[in-house]
Every structure is written in C-alpha cells, then in structure tokens.
Amino acid sequence: MLRPMSEKWDRRFIALARHIAEWSKDPSTKVGCVVVGPDREIRSTGFNGFPRGIDDTPERLNNRALKYPLVCHAEENAIMHAARTGISLKGCSAYVTWPPCTRCARSLVQAGVSEVMYPAELQIPDRWREDFEISSSMLDEAGVRSREVPDA
C-alpha cells in the first residue's frame, strides 16, 4: 500500500522532475519524470529525448520530419530504463512536469504505476486539451490516481 507523501516531498519530486526536464535534447518539449517507490526511493527517471542508439546530429535535431517520430516521452524513457535495469514500477508514484499524453498514460498503466502527480495551475493549450482529457479518463478507468501538486 502506498504511504501518503507530504506536500513537501511532492514539491521536492516535482522540482527534481523539472531539473531532469532541462536535460531534454528537444527544447520545445522539456518534460521530466521521476518514479518514486512507496518508501520515497527513486526507482527511475526520464526526460524527453531520443531512444538510446539514435544519432542526434544537428540535422536530426533541426528537421521535424526526422525528429518527432523518434522522440521518446519522459514517462516512456523512465519505464524503459526501469525495464532495462530490472526495476519494478508497480505501485509507484510518477511525478511529471506535464500531464501525460494518451500514449504515456497507457504506458504508465501497463507499468503498474498507482499515482501520477503534476504541477498545479498549468495552462493546458487548447490543442492538447482533448488529449489531456482522454488520458485523464484512461488513468481514472485503470484506477491510477492523478492529482496536482501545488507550488510552494
């Protein structure tokens, strides 16, 4: 069973996710993810970037047609890292700097994550609002709690 975290710890993990987001190779989608176990131990982290082994040359970074089909989202990178290292994410909490898209929501459900937290009062642009609503309902239907973490 998940031990509830205090708002102080929630804010710390969101701050860490924001720091990790700065490592993103794609400046237009700086998203970070920290997956935390029941005893506040960090199980995995991820940020938006290219899958391991992809050559991120300046041509690839600046060409949308080459770049976006290969970008892995922060949540998926965290899940892949955990899988490569044999770490279970079942029952864990995922702290992300941006609410997960439908693709990432599905991946989080499949990985067994129990809770998703993201910063409060984010301004979701209209072009992403429908995807955000769909991913929220996917998480709800799977029994994954999602909530906002207030800023300090």
Q: Which residues are catalytic?
A: 75
**Closest C-alpha to 71, from 89, 94, 107, 47:** 47
Neighbours of 56 (CB within 10 A): 13
**Closest C-alpha to 44, from 111, 103, 100, 124:** 111
Backbone phi and psi for residue 107, each to the nearest 5 degrees, phi listed first: -65, -40
